[in-house]
Each structure stands twice: as structure tokens, then as C-alpha cells.
Chain A
Amino acid sequence: MHRFVTRPLVVVISLGLLSSLAACQGQVPQVQKSGTPSSGTATRTPNLTTRQEAAIRKEIGQVLDKANESKDPAGLDERVSGPQLQIRTSELQIAKATGSLNPKTIIPTSIAQTVIPGDPGWPRSVFAITTTTEDQQSKRLLVLNQESAHENYKLWGVARLFQGAQLPKFPVATIGAQMGSPTDEGLKATPVEAVRQYADLLQNSGSSQYAKDFAQDDFRTSMDTLTQAVQKGIEANRGSQDQTFSPQDGEIRVMHSSEGGDLVVAQINSVWTRHAGEGRESTPASDAEKALFGDGKATSTMKVTYVNVIALYVPSSTSRDQIRAVGAEREPIKVEAV
């Protein structure tokens, strides 16, 4: 009697189990909604991996090399933009005229530090610090810039760092830094303002009202020396000279440092007007100017337009340091006899 009950019972149980578990793949996994990655400011992932960044620099280097070889700036704008495009173009013109490229144009391929931000949005930039060159020139600070999502990173600015200049600290490339904006608050001065003050300082040298806010640096020192030398020559001719420095709107890139300050790289154009007195001609003041001027007809006034790229470190307002320039580049781009 019992067997009549248990046997069908067992069969029913087995079938029930079978139907629920036959050909079972398991539960379909669901996507974990783990919060938007871009919302956290502390945990932002870098926009580029170090491998991607190295690939970009390699491509930039290839474009530069090609242009260097041909001394032709035609293909430059594929990977070069901003002040660097102007400087490179000028250097290539000079190289064509003089036959060789200025050694200061060398950009080493090996990198000492890369600063890759994790900010969403465009334009976005990457700062890279190269090693010293083979002939013991100073390190270069490269600024790569991606203007929009559909464009690629281009070499926007290069500043040669001063010997012994102290750069601020940045997070490692795997963590992701943070870009700043030209109007950042909480610093000794906003980046735009700091650049403007520095331009004023360059223009007015010791008599500028901002002299006490800035530490002395090599660029200003060399500028002073140059100006004084030219002044002596000009005064001998009873001529005059003046330089006007003007920061360029929008040509500024800012990166937050982990020390609380900002590293600012900006373009300051300067126009150097030299009048030769007593009917003399005003001639190019350097080989570069000469090469740019080429075989133009000199007059008593010469106007030379320079592109200066300066790298400033603006500390936070609570810091006891002054604003200091850590690197610069200066290149005449246009020489005209007015």
C-alpha cells in the first residue's frame, strides 16, 4: 500500500525539480548602477592613460620631425596649435634662412612627469615635463591641448624651464589631476590677473607696482639685461625703444597643483619698437630678427613682434610664497620696418 503512494510521489517530486532547473543558465546579471564616475571630485579617472598620452606625444614628435626636416611649417597644424604653432613656424622660417634649426627647439622624447587631468568637458589639456636635453639644456614644459571632442590633442605651448626652478607637485598620472580655470579664486591672484601683472612687470620692470608680488626669475633678468644693452646702443644713437607686453585673451592654460596653487601657462605678445635717431636705420637686433627680416628694407623704426610663453606658479592665498615664473619661451614672429 505504501509503495503505491511513495513511488508516484517521488516521481512527481523529481519532475517538479526537473522542470524548475532544467537547462538553467542561472540568473541574468543586471548592470550595477554604481554612481556616475564623473561626479566624484576625489576619484576622477584620468582622461588619458599614460600609454595614450605617450602615443600622442609620439605622433606630435613625428609631425615636428617631418617639419624640421623639410623646414616647412605646412603640415604643422595637424598636431601643433596655439602659440607653439606661431613659434614653430617662425623657427622653421629662421632655420630655412639660416640653414639650421635653433637648438632651443629640441623637445626631448623622454618624459619626467605627466599631468593628466580627469575633467570632463572640452577644451582639455595635458601638461608634460620632459627630461633635460642631450646637450644639457633645461627641461621643457609641454602643454597639449584638445580643443573639442572631435579634435585631437595638439602641442599648444612649450616653455623652457629655468635652471633650478621649483615646480609644484601634481598627482600621479594614474590618479588624475584637475584642470583650473583662468578665473580661479583662492590664489594670490586669479590666473588671468597674475599674467596681466607679470606682463606689466615685464613692461615696467622695477617700477611696476606688482614688483613685490613676484619673485625674481631668469626671464625677467635676461629681459632686463637685453633691454639695457639695447638701450645703451639706442642712446648712443639718440634713439628710443619701447616694448609693450600684452597677454592674449584665451591663450591661457591652468592646472591645479596638489599644493593648492595653480600652474599657469599663458601667451604674452610683445611688440618691440625701436627708433633709430639721427636718420639711422633701425636694424634687426638679433640673428633671429635678421633671419625673419630677411632682405627687407630697413627704416628708422623697426617693429618686432614677439610671442612669449610664460609659465607661472600662482600659490594659494594662504601661502607665504610669491608668484614666481618657472619657465618661458620667447620668439620673434614678425619683423617689420615701419
Chain B
Amino acid sequence: MRGVVTPIFGLLAVTCIVLGIMNATVWKPSPHVDARGRANTRYVVTDPGVLPLVDKRVSVEATPLKAGAGRSQVCMALTTAQDAAGWTAGQDVTRIKGLDDWETLDVSRGKVSGEQVKDGAKAVPFKDSDMWRQVECGDSSARMRVKVDRPDLVVLVDTRPDQKESKTSAAKTGVNLQLLWERSNLPDFAIPFYFGGGLLAVLTVLSATVFAMDPAKRRKKQVEQAEELEPEVSVAQALGSVVAPGLGRRKRGAGRHRRHDRDAPVEASAESTGSSTGTEGFVGGQEPKVIDPQVRNMVADHEVARSGPNRDAAQGRSDNHGTWESDRAEGRDASVGNQQGAGRQTSPVVVPRPGALTYAAARGMANANHTGSDNVSPAGSEATDLPWNADAGPVETAESGGSAAGDLDVDDDSQTTVISKEEMESYLARLANEGDLAQDGDEQ
């Protein structure tokens, strides 16, 4: 990733920045707009909205192509659209409709509706009319600078102002028209490029650092640091579990060598409640065993207590004590407490979690624990070794007893029964006896 993507992003970022600079300097849009057109009617009028097309301030210029025989004057006036239409009623005019492109005016010839105004004696010349807001006349060309406040202002050009009444609408000669704007709002093409360049630069940096973290390297690190604790649940797994169970677990590459010690806990199903593959790799207490005290078999404990007098009572008590405290103090597996049960060995209680100990593992651990565990004495326990040593007995008792309890070890429901099978049998036997008596009694 780092070697391929980063240079691409880097180059693109540089390209964007360079293009942005070019657009801000060399390719900057020109603020001058000079659009030209030509007309050959006497009157030329702009459409409403054309004057402020590019900017509010516009300079209009009209130049007859060649001077006629006499003085040819050109006049232009700024007025409203309806006044211009009234002045030119019934005549052909050239309309400036807009911009074809940045340098060409869109002109077309048309006829103004209405009846042509009859010029009586009282008609005023073009430049004297009251209707114009601004008027300019010139000999060879006329130029007027206007500031357009309202969109319906137009410029009316009269190329034959000295002629009172026009029989024809034709101009003496063609007339060149020019509209000049100085743009005050220029389009800015540089900013998007700068923005894109900035984004690409950020991506470059990210792809060089964050996205390019080498997992192989990381794995190697982990092997070196054997002590490094992997968090039980990574952030990704936690966030993923928010959405759906099992989401967020980092998938392993197919070709990677699966290490049993690493992969086993990962593959453990999150929902399994106690059946999990074992892991013997956790030596020395890497994986703390979780004991759920609620799953203690009270009856089993009771049995122990009852059979306790056979053994050292203190032991039994202390067993209980010690076991209980050991459970709490060290968080040891409940397999320890489970050993107390006479003839019972409940399966080790494990909280469903990845990396949880399997039953066999727990048993194995318990075995391992009780075989050589002088130093695993519970804090504050009176009999240090005894819980484990005492376990030897019950364990073997359970195993040797071959009672149903032992068989029940494999069954899951053994954890949940309150009355043991033995007790049940004895109870039923008693019942039977009583029943017989009762029957006898009934029969009598």
C-alpha cells in the first residue's frame, strides 16, 4: 500500500495544487468582457436584462461603419423598455438579446409592435426627449457608461437622429455595437483545486502512515512479547458487536499459519455457554479462570458438609471457607469448589467468553492444580494445601464412585439439579415404603 498508493496520491495532490495555482494566476478569467455585434437598422435596442448581464456597470458604444455624406451622428439613450418601445413603435429594430459567447453579441432583427408615431410639428429630436435618463450623442461614435439599477433599463441607439420621420428603418450604413463590462465577481476555479489538493495530501499522509501499517510486523512483535496481553475484546470487536454479534472480529488471512494458541480463543463462539475448546497453552495463569459463584451446587456442598464429619470437620469447613475465599481471592476456577461435592464434580463453570477454558482443560487444570500446588493457597485460608489436597479425595471418590454423578458430569443438567440422584433414590425408596404402609392402611 505504502509503496503504490502513496505516490499516486502524492502526485495527484501536487498536480491539483499546481493546477490551482495556474488557475489563480495564468488562467485567471479575464475581468474584461468585450462583446461585439453589428446592426443595419436605424434603431438598436437592448433587451431588458442584457445590460446588467455581466456586471452592473456597462459601457455601450456604437460606431457607424463609415461616415456618410454629411455629418452622421449617432445617439444613444438609457431608458425603460416600454419607453423605448414607444419611441420605436411600428419600426424595425435590431434587438440585442444577449451573449452568444464571451465576445459576440446575440443580435436579431425584429419589428416593434404598435403603430408608428406620426411626427407632427411638435415632435422633438431624439436627444431632447424627456423620456431618457441619460443620453449621449456623437459624431463618429457614441459611447455611454451606465450603471444599471433596474433590470428593465435598456439602451436605445438611433443611428440617424437628425432624420425626423423615418420612412424606412434602414440605417445609412451598418453600425458596430460594443458592450464592455468590467467583471467585479470573477469565477474562482482555483479554490476547488486547492481543496482537492489538500484532500489528496491528507490521503497521501494517511496512506503512508495509518493505512500502511504492516500487520506482519505487528505479529512479529507479539511473538517477541509473550507477556503482552491481548485485550479480551478489541475496540473493533466491541464496536462491531454493537451492530451485530460477531462483527468486528478481525479476520485472519486464509493463508496464514494458524497457531493454535492464538486462533483457538478467536474461533470460540461468543454465545457458547461453557463448551469451548481447551487451551493448554495458557500456562502460568495467562488466562484467568472465571468462576461464577452462582452456579455452585448448594446440595453438593451440603453433602460435603454432611460427609464432612467423616473427615476432619475443620477441613470441611475450612475447605468451604478456603474454597470460597480462594474463589474470590484468586478468581480460580470453580472446579476447586466443585471438588467439594461428595461424589459430585460439577463441570467447571466458565463464563462464556472467547478463550474460555473448556471443561477438559479446566479439569486438567484442576488436576494440575491439585497435584502440585503448594503455592496456590488461597489468601487467608486456614488450611493452605488442604482444599486441594482434600480435593484429591472427593475427586477420586467421585471418579471411583462411578456414581451417576460421575456420569452426570458429562450431562449439562447436572449443574442445575438440586437433589442428587442418590438422594432421589433414597427418597423414593422411603416413599415406597410409606406408600406400602399407606396402601396397607388403605386396604385395611
Complex contacts, A38 vs chain B, CB 8 Å:
82
The answer to whether A32 and B151 have CB atoms under 8 Å apart is yes
The answer to whether A42 has its CB under 8 Å from any CB of chain B is: no
Q: Given A18-B19, A31-B97, A34-B151, does the pair A26, B187 have CB atoms closer than 8 Å?
A: yes
Complex contacts, A14 vs chain B, CB 8 Å:
15, 19
Contact residues on B (Cβ < 8 Å of other chain), bracket: 35 or more
Instruction: List 14 A-B pairs, Cβ < 8 Å.
Output: A3-B7, A6-B7, A10-B8, A13-B12, A13-B15, A26-B187, A29-B99, A31-B53, A34-B49, A48-B130, A52-B133, A146-B130, A148-B117, A150-B117
The answer to whether A28 has its CB under 8 Å from any CB of chain B is: yes
Which residues of A approach B to under 8 Å, CB–CB?
A: 2-3, 6-7, 9-10, 13-14, 17-18, 21-34, 37-38, 45, 47-49, 52, 55-56, 77, 120-122, 146-153
Q: Tally A-B pairs: CB < 8 A.
A: 109
Q: Given A21-B19, A21-B189, A45-B80, does the pair A122, B86 have CB atoms closer than 8 Å?
A: yes
Closest chain-A Cβ to B332's Cβ sits at a distance in Å of: 56
Chain A residue nearest in CB terms to B97: A31
What 4 A-B pairs have minimum CB-CB distances, sorted nearest first? A26-B187, A149-B86, A150-B123, A31-B49
> Which B26-48 residues have a C-beta within 8 angstroms of A?
27, 29-30, 47-48
Complex contacts, A48 vs chain B, CB 8 Å:
130-131
Complex contacts, B189 vs chain A, CB 8 Å:
21, 24
Q: Given A18-B19, A25-B29, A45-B150, does the pair A10, B11 have CB atoms closer than 8 Å?
A: yes
The answer to whether B8 and A152 have CB atoms under 8 Å apart is no
Closest chain-B Cβ to A286's Cβ sits at a distance in Å of: 33
Question: Considering the chains assembled together, what is the distance between the CA atoms of A33 and B98 in angstroms?
Answer: 11
The answer to whether B443 has its CB under 8 Å from any CB of chain A is: no
The answer to whether A37 and B101 have CB atoms under 8 Å apart is no
The answer to whether B3 has its CB under 8 Å from any CB of chain A is: yes
Which of B4, B27, B80, B119 is the one whose CB lies under 8 Å from A22?
B27
Q: Given A149-B117, A153-B130, does the pair A24, B122 have CB atoms closer than 8 Å?
A: no
Which of A2, A24, A29, A45 is the one whose CB lies under 8 Å from B152?
A45
The answer to whether B50 and A31 have CB atoms under 8 Å apart is yes
The answer to whether B299 has its CB under 8 Å from any CB of chain A is: no
The answer to whether B81 has its CB under 8 Å from any CB of chain A is: yes
The answer to whether B54 has its CB under 8 Å from any CB of chain A is: yes
Given contacts A149-B131, A150-B124, A151-B122, 8 further A-B contacts (CB under 8 A): A21-B23, A28-B100, A30-B98, A31-B53, A45-B80, A48-B130, A149-B86, A152-B129
Chain B residue nearest in CB terms to A124: B86
Complex contacts, A23 vs chain B, CB 8 Å:
27
The answer to whether B83 has its CB under 8 Å from any CB of chain A is: yes
Question: Considering the chains assembled together, what is the distance between the CA atoms of A6 and B3 in angstroms?
Answer: 12
Which of B3, B81, B124 is the one whose CB lies under 8 Å from A2?
B3
The answer to whether B12 and A52 have CB atoms under 8 Å apart is no
Question: Considering the chains assembled together, what is the distance between the CA atoms of A2 and B117 in angstroms?
Answer: 79
Complex contacts, B47 vs chain A, CB 8 Å:
31
Q: Given A6-B7, A28-B99, A28-B101, does the pair A56, B130 have CB atoms closer than 8 Å?
A: yes
The answer to whether B211 has its CB under 8 Å from any CB of chain A is: no
Question: Considering the chains assembled together, what is the distance between the CA atoms of A313 and B197 in angstroms?
Answer: 73
> Which B115-153 residues have a C-beta within 8 angstroms of A?
117-120, 122-124, 128-131, 133, 150-152
Question: Considering the chains assembled together, what is the distance between the CA atoms of A97 and B163 in angstroms?
Answer: 42
Closest chain-A Cβ to B129's Cβ sits at a distance in Å of: 7
Complex contacts, A26 vs chain B, CB 8 Å:
29, 186-187
Q: Given A29-B53, A32-B49, A147-B122, does the pair A2, B86 have CB atoms closer than 8 Å?
A: no
Which of A29, A34, A45, A122 is the one whose CB lies under 8 Å from B54?
A29
Complex contacts, A32 vs chain B, CB 8 Å:
49, 151
Closest chain-B Cβ to A174's Cβ sits at a distance in Å of: 12
Question: Considering the chains assembled together, what is the distance between the CA atoms of A37 and B130 in angstroms?
Answer: 21
